[in-house]
């Protein structure tokens, strides 16, 4: 009964492919996020999604698109993968009015070859 | 984009020593958070600070929200082997969750035998 779960844990794929990473939270949180952690461990927000409102970090290429089938899920779709997309991607969720419940998943390590 | 300046980048200490790390920013944050990340896992929240000047403890951890809202520090007393990991500061400008967190670059804590 993991609070924020991501699948897969590891993903190795070739350049040019399209892939998805799934995220589910069972905490009843209102907002979900995707973060990217690079090889130097720097964490940077990519998207946040709250009640059908999507906030996008302007530096994220439009090859990346989040999709939320319902409040408990925020999946990340990536088209035309590039070598520079290799990183660890973290899903997170939080309640609407409190950051104390801000919870991360355990990450998906994406390797593009 | 906005970044937090976190220092030191890494620390090599002996078990039992006290540890201190800090974050500074050129702009104001309304909330400061401190996270710890273990290998292969997502960041886990240690302490959240909501008011300027606030000093909060969580066991052997103590953190303070700077009075100017532009800095925060984390102290760990009497370090133990399980304290090893990467510690991140994070800030948020608004009161709600939608705009996500801005992270520091992390402090790698290594405990020498």
Number of Cβ within a 10 Å radius of residue A66? 21
Q: Which residue of B has its CA nearest to A43?
A: B103
pLDDT, one tens digit per residue, over A60-97 is 999 999 999 999 999 999 999 999 999 999 999 988 76
Lowest-confidence pick of A10-14, A103-107, B94-98: B94-98
Determine, for residues A50 and B99 on separate chains, whether the beta-carbon distance falls below 8 Å.
no
Q: Which residue of A has its CA nearest to B85?
A: A41
Residue of B6, B42, B107, B108 best to disrupt the A interface, most CBs of A under 10 A: B42
Predicted confidence at residue B95, as pLDDT, reads: 54
Paired strand residues for B103: B90
Within an 8 Å CB–CB cutoff, is residue A40 touching chain B? yes
Q: What one-character-per-residue DSSP string does A20-85 give?
A: EEEEEE-S--SEEEEEEE-TT--EEEEEEEETTEEEE-TTS-TTEEEE-SSTTB-EEEE-S--GGG
Within an 8 Å CB–CB cutoff, is residue A107 touching chain B? yes
Q: What one-character-per-residue DSSP string does B35-63 give?
A: EEE-TTS--EEEEEE-STT-EEEETTEEE
CA distance B18 to chain A (A): 24
**Mean pLDDT, residues B43-61 taken together:** 94
CA–CA separation, B44 and A15 (whole Å): 32
Q: Is the pLDDT of residue B96 over 70?
A: no
Q: Judge contact between B69 and B29, C-beta under 8 A.
A: yes
Q: Which residue in the set B40, B90, B97 is minimally distant from A31, CB to CB?
A: B97
Quick one: pLDDT band at residue B112, thresholds 50, 70, 90? confident
Quick one: pLDDT band at residue B6, thresholds 50, 70, 90? very high
Q: Which residue in the set B40, B95, B101 is minimally distant from A45, CB to CB?
A: B101
Q: Is the pLDDT of residue A53 over 90?
A: no
Q: Is the pLDDT of residue B98 over 70?
A: no
Quick one: pLDDT band at residue B99, thresholds 50, 70, 90? low
Predicted confidence at residue A21, as pLDDT, reads: 98
pLDDT, one tens digit per residue, over A18-27 is 999 999 999 9
Q: Which residue in the set A42, A43, A53 is minimally distant from B98, CB to CB?
A: A53
Mapped onto helix, strand or coil, the DSSP state of residue B83 is helix
Predicted confidence at residue A99, as pLDDT, reads: 65
């Amino acid at each position: 009964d993991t609070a924020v779960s991501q699948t897969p844990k590891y993903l190795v794929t070739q350049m040019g492919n399209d892939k998805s990473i799934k995220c589910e939270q069972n905490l009843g949180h209102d907002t979900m996020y995707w973060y990217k952690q690079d090889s130097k461990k720097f964490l940077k927000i990519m998207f946040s999604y709250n009640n059908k409102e999507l906030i996008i970090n302007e530096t994220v290429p439009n090859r990346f698109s989040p999709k939320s089938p319902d409040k408990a899920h925020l999946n990340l779709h990536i088209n035309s993968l590039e070598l520079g997309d290799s990183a660890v991607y973290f899903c997170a969720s939080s309640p609407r009015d409190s950051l104390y419940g801000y919870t991360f998943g355990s990450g998906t390590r994406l390797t593009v070859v | 984009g906005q970044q937090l300046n976190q220092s030191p980048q890494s620390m090599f200490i002996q078990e039992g020593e006290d540890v201190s790390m800090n974050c500074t920013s050129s702009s104001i944050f309304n909330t400061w958070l401190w996270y710890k990340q273990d290998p292969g896992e997502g960041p886990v929240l240690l302490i959240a600070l909501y008011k300027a000047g606030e000093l909060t403890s969580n066991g052997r951890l103590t953190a303070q929200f700077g009075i100017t809202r532009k800095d925060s520090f984390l102290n760990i007393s009497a370090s133990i082997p399980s304290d090893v990991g990467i510690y991140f500061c994070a800030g948020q400008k608004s009161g709600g969750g939608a705009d996500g967190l801005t992270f520091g670059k992390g402090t790698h804590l290594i405990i020498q035998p």
